[in-house]
Amino acid sequence: MELFRIKNDIPFMSYGRLTTAISLITFVLAVVFLVTRGLNFGVDFTGGTIMEVNYPQAANLENVRKAVDSIGLKEATVQNFGSSHDVLIRLPVKAGVSVSQLSEQVKSALVTADPKAEVRRVESVGAQVGDELYENGGLALFFVSLGIVLYLWLRFEWRFAVAAIIANMHDVVIILGFFAFFQWEFNLTVLAAILAVLGYSVNESVVVFDRVRENFRKMRKASVVQVIDNAITRTMSRTIITHTMTQTMVGSMLLFGGEVLHNFALALTIGILFGIYSSVLVACPIAMWLGVSRANLIGDVEKKDDAAKSGKKADVAEPHPSDFA
């Protein structure tokens, strides 16, 4: 399906050095923010207690923060949850205080500040469980990346596999850089969004790479640059339709999904935007600079096609004079 068709190929590869330089600068900045500021890990990874509090009227978050601070929990985070009447409080682990004691202290402070406050939910994650989730999350990210490399290596060629995984890691690091710079909470839902972005981004790379391989068979006299530019241009309509529809759904979660889905949708939004950019303007230039060519991409398939076009003469042996003796 195509909404529009571009007649002349857009010279994307002529901007390869510029786009790669921009990506490199963005990547370095993201790494710097990760090293200097670090991620603001949520209770899922650090351990702690989550409390959901309901008020009959719109909650005054400033008064709630003061009530929590009054019992020495200045590191706690307070935010609306779903509606202005519901408040979510995340409490860090406090040495020498059990979960039940901590929740009772917070409940007493909240009721003292506003007798109408109602604690509806209390959940706790131990520090040991948080460490396990942190390690398992890292392993999940590693194995997903390894699976993508192996898949692309088997389906295409190692140069495209390397280019695609560099582009995908570029997206992941930039998402993490945004979360480090703005100190948005990094929890399990954000990790799930990053894993989803990996799969989403590699799908875009596969579409472009598949068109590149097809072009190498059809455009026999074209250069590598012309082949890649044509492949990207011919898939632009599909790319715009797919990403617009996906972002529409993610945007609705971002605007109307509430606090629980906010960071999840935010990570997906960043990943979708940079996924389009990296699949076209990062992966393709890297593959080109790694030396991808018609010969190493098609290989034996091309030889078989050429043999079929020559009338399969190689399969028929020429008669020898000795056969008639």
Q: Mean pLDDT over residues 32-54, rounded?
A: 86
Q: Mean pLDDT over residues 107-130, rounded?
A: 81
Looking at residue 128, what is its pLDDT? 58
Listed residue (250, 288, 284) closest to 270, CA to CA: 250
pTM summary value: 0.76
pLDDT band at residue 30, thresholds of 50, 70 and 90?
very high
- Please say if the pLDDT value at position 34 is more than 90: yes
DSSP string for 122-190: EEEE-HHHHHHHHHHHHHHHHHHHHHHHHHHHHHS-HHHHHHHHHHHHHHHHHHHHHHHHHT-EE-HHH
Looking at residue 316, what is its pLDDT? 44
Least reliable range by pLDDT among 61-70, 119-128, 189-198, 236-245: 119-128
Q: Are 274 and 190 in contact (CB under 8 A)?
A: no
More confident: 100 or 58: 58
pLDDT above 90 coverage of the chain, percent:
14
CB-count burial class (<10 Å; 0-12, 13-18, 19+) for 140: middle
Cα–Cα distance, 196 to 141 (Å, whole number): 10
More confident: 97 or 281: 281
- Please say if the pLDDT value at position 52 is more than 80: yes
pLDDT band at residue 176, thresholds of 50, 70 and 90?
very high
Cα–Cα distance, 157 to 150 (Å, whole number): 10
Pairing mode, strands 40-41 and 77-81: unpaired
- Please say if the pLDDT value at position 174 is more than 90: yes
Listed residue (192, 113, 200, 98) closest to 148, CA to CA: 200
pLDDT band at residue 297, thresholds of 50, 70 and 90?
low
Cα dihedral: 304, 310, 313, 315 (round 10): 20
Instruction: Write down the residue that tokens 């003061």 correspond to.
Output: 66
- Which amino acid is it at 201? S
Cα–Cα distance, 68 to 236 (Å, whole number): 52
Listed residue (219, 227, 204) closest to 292, CA to CA: 227
DSSP string for 263-285: HHHHHHHHHHHHHHHHHHHTHHH
Looking at residue 309, what is its pLDDT? 54
Average pLDDT over the chain reads 82
- Please say if the pLDDT value at position 161 is more than 70: yes
- The neighbouring-strand residues paired with 92 are 48
> How many residues in total does the chain contain?
325
pLDDT band at residue 200, thresholds of 50, 70 and 90?
confident
Q: Mean pLDDT over residues 27-54, rounded?
A: 87
Looking at residue 264, what is its pLDDT? 92
Pairing mode, strands 48-54 and 118-125: antiparallel
- The sign of the dihedral angle between the CA atoms of 175, 246, 134, 170 is negative
Would you call 118 helix, strand, or coil by DSSP?
A: strand
What domains are there in the chain, each with its CATH number?
Answer: 12-39+130-305 (1.20.1640.10), 48-125 (3.30.70.3400)
Tens-place pLDDT, residues 298-324: 654 455 455 555 554 444 444 444 444
Q: Are 58 and 84 in contact (CB under 8 A)?
A: yes
More confident: 193 or 275: 193
Listed residue (205, 187, 207, 184) closest to 287, CA to CA: 205
* Positions of E strands within the chain: 40-41, 48-54, 77-81, 83-92, 118-125, 185-186
